[in-house]
Structure formats: C-alpha cells, structure tokens
Amino acid sequence: MKQNIFKLGCLLLGLFVVLVVYLSYLQAVMGSNLAANPYNRRLQDIEARVRRGNIYDAKGIVLARSEFNNNTGRRVYSRGADMSHITGYISGLYGRAGLESAYDSYLLGMEGADLIRNFVNKLLGKEQKGGDLTLTIDADLQGLAMELLRGRRGAVVLIDTRTGALRVMASSPSFDPNHLEESWPRLVQDEDSPLLNRAAQGAYPPGSTFKVVTAAGALAANPGIATSTFNCPGYLMVGGYKLDDLAAHGAVDLKKALAVSCNTTFAQLGLGLGADGFYRTIKAFGMDQDPGLEIPVRPGTLAAPGKMTPTELAGSAIGQGEVLVSPLHMALAAAAIANKGVIMRPYLAESVKDSAGETVRQAVHRPWLTATTPEISGIIKDGMVDAVRYGTAGAAAVSGMQVAGKTGSAQNPRGQTHAWFIGFAPADQPRLAVAVILENAGPGGTVAAPVAGRLLSAAVSKGY
Amino acid sequence: MISRSCSRKISPGEYASTVRSRLTERKLLFLAGIYTLAGMLALYLGAAGSPDRQALPVGLATISAFLFVSMYWHFTGYRGDCFLLPITAFLSSTGLVFLFRLDPAYGERQFIWLLIGLGALVLTTRLFVDFRFLSDYKYIYALAGLIALVLPIFFGHEQGGAKSWLNFGVFQFQPSEFVKILVVLFLASFLAENRAILTAGTRNLGWIALPGPQEWGPLAAMWGVSLLLLVCQKDLGAALIYFGTFLTMVYVATSRIFYVLFGMGLFMTGAAASFYLFAHVRARVETWLNPWPYIDTTGYQVIQSIFAINSGGVLGTGLGLGYPKYIPAVHTDFIFSAICEELGLLGASAVIILFMLFVFRGIKIALKTKDDFTALAASGLTALLGLQAFIIIAGVTKLLPLTGVTLPYMSYGGSSLVANFILLGLLLNISHEAEGSL
C-alpha cells in the first residue's frame, strides 16, 4: 500500500507541475491582442486616468491627440479618414486597432521610466502622461494620395527604398476615426469594406507588374536570357490552352519584353523557371511573408504545389492565375529592384518619446531580404526605364527626373481590369518606390501610372 | 491542562523532539508573518487605492493567532508535522491580503473565519487526537453526511450556478465542504476493513475477479452520490473532487488499476450522458472548448480571468496595481486569477509550489503511518486537498472546464476555510500518532 501512496503523491505533484508548465505556456503564447479586446476594460480604465500621448507624422504634424473636457478624454484625429488605417482607433465599443493599439503601452506611459513616473504621479495625485509616437508617413503626401484615389477603390504605397520608411500608405475608401462609433454599423455593412486596409491587407492579382518578379527569377536561374531574343506571335499554347497576348510583339529581348509587357515571353520564362524556381523567387521577394509592420498585413498566396500545372504556372508568371498579393508587397518588389536587390525592412514608427521627451525607441534601418543580385536588378531596371520612356508606362513620366516603372492590367472576376503601377525614381539613384492599384478601373498605363507620377513628383519636391 | 495528547506518558526524548519541531514551526511562522505584514503594510499605505487602516492590525493578529496555535501545541506536547501549519499560514495570509485588497469587507469577514478556523484546528487536534474512534461509527456519519449533502437539493438555494448552499439567515453554509472530510474518513475505514476482499475478489467473472455486492455496494453508492451532486446541484466541481478522491483511495487500498479504470469509465459515461441530457453541463463544456462566442454570457467570467492572467505577465502588475475586480466572483473561485494578475507567473507558481509542499508533507505523513486506516485517511485527505486546488486552478486558467469550487485556504468562504482547517487538524493528528509510536 505504501507504494501506492508513493504513486499517488507523484501523481498529485505531477498535476501541479502540469499547472506551472501550462501557466508558463499561457504567458508565452497568449497574444497581446487580448489587451485590445473591447471586453477587456483594463486599458480603458488606464485611459481614463492617463493623458494619452500624441501621434505625429514625419514632419511633426499632429495626427492624433487627446482632448480633455470635464475629465472625459476624447481622441481627435486631425487628418480624419486620411490616416485611419495606419493610426487605427480606440473605442470602448469596438476595441482598438492600428498603431494606437500596437503602441498602447508607450502612449499610455506604461513602459520604462514612464511607468515609475506615472506611479509617483498617481500617488501624488498629479496627472499621468503617456509618450509620443512619430511616424514615417508624410501626412501631406498621404493626403495627396487619398485625393488621387478619391471616390475609387484602391491603394497607394510609397516607400523609401534606402531605409524602408513608409511615406504613404493610403487605402480608399476609408473611414473617419473621429466618428467611428456613430458610423460603425454602416462601415461594417458597406460593400466596399472601408475598414479594410487595402494597402497591406488587399489580395489582388498583380497582373503584369509581377513580370518584374518573374524576370528576376528567370535571370537568376539562367543569366543567358539577358541577351536572348524571344519570338512573340501574339499567343502561347500551354497544356492545350491558348494564352492570348495583347499584340504580336515579334522578336523581343528581355528589356523590350518588359517595356511592352509581352505576356508570351514571360509565360515562357515562367515555364522555363519551373514550379520550384517560381516558388523560390516568390520567397526571395518575401511575397508570402508579413514583414512585421505592427499593423495587420496579408501575406501573398499562390497555387499550392499540387495545383501548379503548366497552365497555372504560365498564368502565375504574368501575375494572373491564383497569385494574390497586396500593394505593399508589390511596392517592396519595386524597392528591391531600386535598391540593388536588397529590400529594407519596411516600418511605420520612426521614434517613440516618453512623457519627458526622452527618445525611448528609434527605428533602425536594416535589410529585410536579399531578393536578387545587383546585376539582375540592373537589367530589370533598364527594362522598367524603357517602359516609361517608350513603353506602356509612359504616363508615369515626371519632368526633370527619370522614372522606372511597370504597369499591370489584372484580369479579375469582378468586371474591368485592376489598374496597377509599380516603379521607382529617380532611376539613376533610386530613393522612392511606389505601388498603385485602382480596382476595376481599367488599364494600368492610363489609370494607375499618372497617379504614381503625380505622387513621385510631389514627394521629390518635398525633399524625399 | 489535561488534554488527551498528554494522557499518555511522554518520554524525555519524545519531548525534546516535540520542542525542536515546534521551534522550527515557529521560525517558519515568523517568516510567514514578515511576508503577511509586508503585504498588509502595502495595503495600509494605500496600494489598493485608499489606505486601509485595518490592514496592519489584522495582519498582526493573524500571525499572532498562528503563533498562538503553535505555542499551545508546544505546551500540550503535540507532535504533529511542523511544516503544515506554516504552509497553511502562507496560503491563508496570501488569501487574506488579496481579500483586503479586493474588498476590505470580505477581508474582515475572512479574518473572523480564519480565527474560527484556527479554533477548529485547535479543537480538532485536542478532541480528535484519538481519531480512531471515528472509524467505529462510520455508517452513522456516512448517513449523516449523505443527508447533509442532499438537504440543499430540497431546501438549498442556488449561488453561482450551484445549488449547494443552506441559508441560516446570518450566514450561509455549504455542507459539501464538511461532508467531503466525512467521506474520506468513511472510505478509509470501509476500505481498511474490506481491503483484502476487494483486492482478491470473491467470485470470478471470466478473467476478472470481483468482490460480492456487500463489498462493492457502498462504492457504487459513492458513484451515485457523485452523479447526484452533478445533476441535482449542478455542482460539477464537488462531484469531480469526490469522485477523484474516491478513486485514488480505492487504488491505494487495492492496488487494482481495474477499479480506477472502471470507475473512470462509469464517470465518463455519466458525464457524457449528462452532457446530452442537461443544458447546463453542455454549456459548461462548450464554454470551456471555446469561450469567445459566449463572451456575453457563460464565457464572460473565464475570459475576464484570461485577461487578468494575460495582463499579469511574468512579474505581475504589483499588489493593488491590476484590475482583477473585472472578474466576477474574483474573491471566491477566481482569487487565483487575481494573484496571477498582480503577482504574475512567479507569484502564481509560488502558490502552486505551496500546495505542492502541502501535498508532499501529507504524503510523507501517509507513508509513516502504521496501519491501513490511518494510511488511507492521510492519503485521502491529502488527495482531497490537492485535487481541489488543482481543479479550481485548472478551471480558472481554462485548462479544465470551470467548476465552482474554492481554492483551499485562500478563497473567501467560511465553510471552506473551517472545513480545510479541520482537514489540516486530522492530518496533523495522524502525524502526531505516527511520531509518537516511533
């Protein structure tokens, strides 16, 4: 019987060990999004006592601040709907979102020195204050992008290729965070999904803009194609299907194929690359990853290996088929070509200061992925320059500066093609990469390219 | 003073060891006192909002009461285990500090109950020091226990979803807290008596040897009572504890894993049947599997508990700096979540380790016993306490379905506190006897 008692003891102690392990596991895996749940009133409680910090844009314009009237705080967003997908909102009814949620602990003074300072303030009955957040976004450029998108469904991303700082991340339609709670019932029912941040969470067929990625993969697998010539009769037969081209481009080299956006050439390159090479290229460009933006990002998706038939592969190579990516991912692809193959980690938060004005967090510029080599990116850049000079992307041209670009007109089941443009400028020393999409708006060359041109020229004149 | 413990002549060697162990006990109680006073001092200075002037005197009185019990044992030559009382002091003073932090009104009442509990402990170690006589009347108190248990079904009122309370005007009383001790004593004496038969079996049923109905009858009755609790009183927690303790004791007595498996099978069958038959059981299980769709109703409590545990992190927010009051019933079943929030993973682990130490001492006592009845009683009481602590901690952390039972020595509740001090007293009496016969 003593043996049994001993076993019982082991069992009971084992149960408690399980509890300790389970509690540790809970702390390790439980998401920080629990704090943002509207049913969790902890943050709201702190909110009522603490003067929440401000959010500034890259030039120091106040984007969000707290106003106090009769001890009830109210959050005021000076740029309204322009910035709402980035800054997010705080609502007692509908929870918390965006950078407001991601930086809660800083904005509410719950980190580092502020934690101690606010504890002392609490004991002394003084006002408790949070820290301030400065973004990389330029509010005026963001406003321009929203103006250019006005009334249409679409998104614009503008990124500094050398640092990864996002200067514009616009999504239309949007919502006014100043009147979130009144308009919520309408927002969630709106068929155009104004709450969705299309720039980072959109899932679009990239169309011909994807040829930039396919070209990088094909050149990496076979450098010889840089000097080969392809013949385009205006269609391609793949697995019994006829893949139509826009025109019979005749004999083209790779650069010209990019400039005139020849489907036949790139479908062939995709088939030559093979499914494995294609997947490898997608990975190299980070298309299937979340770069860790602190706001939600939808990683791109494409056909699973089992479903990657030659027809699917040829379609995917020209950005059709099952390939679905976000404008952010396409902007990063353009940034890779601009920055000699290296994608800098994209980010939105430039710095965080505590309530005393001390900088407690400063963004560090670091490479995220090496998508391709400087040689390959050079070849593709030439093709993209040609596309603007005499090809499909002419409408993106800006006087006094060479723009490199690639258009896309992505077929989709919902009507007219999605108008795409990706590119960067200035072509000789690239600093800015851009991606524009306008849903069901027609051809990229005439609809999306002018938007990109206006934005690039405004950005450069502002000194970016 | 002539207590029963002094009625037998104590040898000088025994007396010296008693003095030594009581001295160790007081040293440990002294540590528990510093710990308690640190917590009470923080509350006195206003860690939980407004300064609580009562906190310090209550802390001092609590620890003095524990020291007084130890002194009393010293003078009566009591030889009970010297670690259990300090462990209990740590647990109950943590509970007391948290109750004062959550709501001083609960703290004050808990303090009174703690004094009553310590009184019950002293009485148990004095009146029942020769607890063996209890074994002779087992059927009488088994019946009494059963009646006490069933009474709330007819006269009781529902609280927190469980109909297991009797209302006596000034205070409410939960019979199942006390009956569980009677159940252990009954089983200990019944199993000690029928151990041989139950182990060997009197008749053969194919490949398996089974005892006759007069032997397994009372055991089947135990199973019935557990299910009755589950169904009629909606007291899932008590049912689990009763049945778990029952199975462990049967196993300890008979070494036959078959009984345990068979019992578990029966319980599973009963549980599965009640899952399909009773909406409240089904709701419990569904809430446990995924509480989020029920966040407004049955899932609210456990989700608030998860929020609290999450906001605590590893180090906790600090005493008085969290928001555990968002959890309904945080002072009773969910006190552990409050500890997780304010003392963090480390504080919560410390509480769990205290329960492990309690179980460890209990098992050591059981291993030192000289006969079947005491061995079974000691291991049964230890299993009872250990299982109860495990079930409620697992419930509030969503490891198991939530069941409304108290966390021993810590949750607010007079019945539970007094009953657990009686349990402690019985365990100490067993160790007193074992030490004496060395």
> What residues of chain B lie within 8 A of the CB of A19, using their CB?
352, 390, 393-394, 397, 399
SS3 A131: coil
Q: Picking from A389-398, B33-42, B180-189, which range would have the lowest pLDDT averaged per residue?
A: B180-189
Is the sign of the CA dihedral B236, B240, B243, B245 positive or negative?
Answer: negative
Provide, as residue numbers in chain B, all residues whose Cβ is less than 8 Å from the Cβ of A16. 352-353, 355-356, 359, 386, 389-390
Q: What is the percentage of chain A residues whose pLDDT exceeds 90?
A: 73
d(CA B251, CA B258): 9
Query: Alpha-carbon distance A218 to B434, whole Å?
Result: 83
Looking at residue B134, what is its pLDDT? 76
- Give yes or no for A390 touching B (CB within 8 A): no
Q: Confirm or reject contact between A21 and chain B (CB < 8 A).
A: no
Whether A294 and A348 have beta carbons less than 8 Å apart is answered as: yes
Interchain CB distance below 8 Å, A16 and B248:
no
Across the range A172-191, mean pLDDT stands at 92
Mark yes or no for CB contact B251/A4 under 8 Å.
Answer: yes
Residues B223 and B216: their CA atoms lie apart, in Å, by: 11
Q: Which of A314-323, A413-422, B306-315, B380-389 has the lowest mean pLDDT?
A: B306-315
Res. B213: pLDDT tops 90: no
Q: What pLDDT, on a 0 to 100 scale, did the predictor assign at position B164?
A: 60
- Give per-residue pLDDT as tens, B60-85: 999 999 999 999 999 888 888 999 99
Angular region, A337: left φ>0, alpha ψ -120 to 50, beta rest? alpha
Residue A3 inside a domain? The answer is no
pLDDT category of residue A136 using cuts at 50, 70 and 90: very high
Point out which residues pair with A76 in neighbouring strands.
A65
Comparing A387 with A46, the larger pLDDT belongs to: A387
The predicted structure's pLDDT at residue A187: 92
The helix (H) or strand (E) run that includes residue B224 is: helix B213-232
Per-residue pLDDT, B178: 84
Query: Confidence band (pLDDT; 50, 70, 90) for B217?
Result: confident
For residues B41-54, give the mean pLDDT: 83
Residue scoring higher pLDDT (B215 or A100): A100
In a domain, A46, yes or no: no
Contact check, Cβ <8 Å, B345/A23: yes
Tell me the nearest-neighbour CA distance from A135 into chain B, angstroms: 27
The pLDDT > 70 percentage for chain B reads 85
Q: Which amino acid is at B435?
A: E
What integer is the mean pLDDT of A409-419? 92
Q: What's the CATH code of the domain at A321?
A: 3.40.710.10
A359 inside domain: no
Assess whether pLDDT exceeds 60 at residue A440.
yes
Q: Where are the domains of chain B?
A: 12-436
In chain A, how many domains are there?
1
CB contacts, 8 Å: A17 with chain B: 356
For residue A78, being part of any structural domain is answered with no
B251, B363, B373, best to mutate vs chain A, most A CBs in 10 Å:
B363
In this prediction, residue A351 carries a pLDDT of 95
| pLDDT band with cut points at 50, 70 and 90 for residue B20 | confident
Residues sharing a CB contact under 8 Å with residue A42, sequence separation 6 or more, in sequence order: A35, B307, B311, B322, B323, B326
Strands A50-51 and A128-129: parallel
* Smallest Cα distance from A98 to chain B, Å: 20
Q: B166 in helix, strand or coil? A: strand
State the complex-level ipTM. 0.91
Q: In terms of Cα–Cα distance, which of B383, B407, B370, B354 is closest to A9?
A: B383
Measure the CA–CA gap between B149 and B242, rounded to whole angstroms.
12
Distance between B167 CA and the closest CA of chain A, angstroms? 34
Q: What is the value of pTM for the model shown?
A: 0.71
Residue A37, chain B, CB below 8 Å: the answer is yes
**Average pLDDT of span B152-173:** 62
Name the strand (E) or helix (H) holding A94.
none
In the three-class reduction of DSSP (H, G, I as helix; E, B as strand; rest coil), residue B423 is classed as helix
Supply the pLDDT for residue B4.
44
User: B298, B307, B364: which to substitute to probe chain A, counting the most A Cβ within 10 Å?
Assistant: B307
CB contact under 8 A, B309 and A30: yes
Contacts of B323 in chain A (CB under 8 A): 41-42, 45
Weakest mean pLDDT among A62-71, A197-206, A338-347, B92-101: A62-71
Contact between A461 and A140 under an 8 Å Cβ cutoff? The reply is no
Q: How much of chain A is in helix, strand and coil states, percent to nearest 5? A: 45, 25, 30
Relative to beta strand A154-160, strand A62-69 is unpaired
Of A255-269, B238-252, B275-289, which one has max mean pLDDT? A255-269
Asked if pLDDT for residue A169 goes beyond 90, the answer is yes
Contact A34 B310 (CB under 8 A): yes
Q: In the predicted model, what is the mean pLDDT of chain A?
A: 91
Residue A66 has a pLDDT of 87
Of A369 and A92, the structure prediction assigns the larger pLDDT to A369
Is the minimum CB–CB distance between A116 and chain B shorter than 8 Å?
no
> A110 lies in a domain?
no
- Nearest-by-CA chain A residue for B368: A2
Amino acid at B71: M
What is the C-alpha to C-alpha distance for residues A311 and A306, in angstroms, rounded to an integer?
Answer: 13
Work out the average pLDDT over A422-433.
94
Contact B363 A2 (CB under 8 A): no
Per-residue model confidence (pLDDT) at position B438: 47
- pLDDT at residue B168 in the model: 59
Looking at residue B3, its pLDDT comes to 42
- The predicted structure's pLDDT at residue A46: 79
What pLDDT band is residue B167 in, cutting at 50, 70 and 90? Answer: low
* Per-residue model confidence as pLDDT tens digits over B1-11: 334 444 455 66
What is the band of A67 on the pLDDT scale with cuts at 50, 70, 90?
Answer: confident
Q: What is the reported pLDDT for B170?
A: 56
Q: Please report the pLDDT score of residue A379 as a whole number.
A: 95
Residue B354 pLDDT greater than 80, yes or no: yes
Residue in chain A lying closest to B321 (CA): A119
Inter-chain residue contact B367 with A11, CB threshold 8 Å: no
- pLDDT tens digits along B130-146: 878 777 777 787 787 77
- How many CA within 13 A on the CB side of residue A456? 32
Calculate mean pLDDT across residues B296-311. Answer: 87
Q: pLDDT at residue A433 above 50?
A: yes
Q: Which of A16, A23, A26 sits opposite B390 (nearest CB)?
A: A16
- Identify the closest residue of chain A to B352 by CA–CA distance: A16
pLDDT in tens, B391-407: 999 999 999 888 878 89
B262/chain A closest Cα distance in angstroms: 18
Identify from B352, B354, B368 which residue to disrupt to test chain A contact, counting A C-beta atoms within 10 A and taking the largest count: B352
Q: Which range of residues forms the domain containing residue A283? A: 140-176+202-349+364-461
pLDDT of res. A71:
64
Q: Which residues of A289-313 are buried (b: 16+ CB within 10 A; e: fewer)?
A: bebebebebbebebbeeeebebbbb
E strands along B133-263, which residues? Answer: 157-159, 162-168, 171-173, 203-205, 208-210
State the pLDDT at residue A113.
87
Q: Do B363 and A45 touch (CB under 8 A)?
A: no
Inter-chain touch B311–A1, beta carbons under 8 Å: no
What pLDDT score does A70 carry?
65
In the DSSP assignment, the letter for residue B133 is G
Asked if the Cβ–Cβ distance from A19 to B367 is below 8 Å, we say no
Q: Tell me the HSE value of A312 on the side-chain side, using a 13 A CA sphere.
A: 13
In this predicted structure, the answer to whether residue B92 has a pLDDT above a threshold of 90 is yes
Q: Let me know if residue A54 belongs to a domain.
A: no
Position B5 scores a pLDDT of 45
* Shortest alpha-carbon distance between residue B153 and chain A (Å): 31
Question: Which tokens sit at B132?
Answer: 């063996």
Distance CA(A294)–CA(B147), nearest Å, equals: 61
